Amino acid sequence: MADILGSFEQAVLLAIVRLADGAYGRAILKEVAVRLDRDVAAGAVQATLERLERKGLVRSRLGSGTPIRDGRARRFYTVLPEGLRALNDARKTHDSVWRGFTRPLKARG
């Protein structure tokens, strides 16, 4: 099995899956912030996207800009089959680790 994805990497990959054709930098940043319910640094998302691309889990392409960003190009991301396999492996590991525990956990005594 390949390296297990970190939780932030999973959040970023799942954001790309959810956003589908609309998965570009800023949209991914907002989606991750919503799912993690906290402010997220743009640098953290950018570094994670670069790392995922180096690992061969996602692919990117430059797309059109919009007036609100003064026409600057947007970089769109797509999850590759290897990325989906990594996500499924991470899910399997997570479920295996938590198997047998009720949620939420309660303190004894």
Residue ranges binding other proteins (CB under 8 A): 24-26, 29-30, 41-44, 46-47, 50, 62, 65-66, 68-70, 72-75
- Distance (Å, rounded) from C-alpha 94 to C-alpha 85? 14
| Residue corresponding to tokens 């640098």 | 43
Q: Which residue number, 72 or 106, has a Cβ lying nearer to other proteins? A: 72
Question: In whole angstroms, how close is the CB of 2 to other proteins at the nearest point?
Answer: 24
Neighbours of 36 (CB within 10 A): 13
> Taking the complex as a whole, how short is the minimal distance between the CB of residue 7 and other proteins, in angstroms?
18
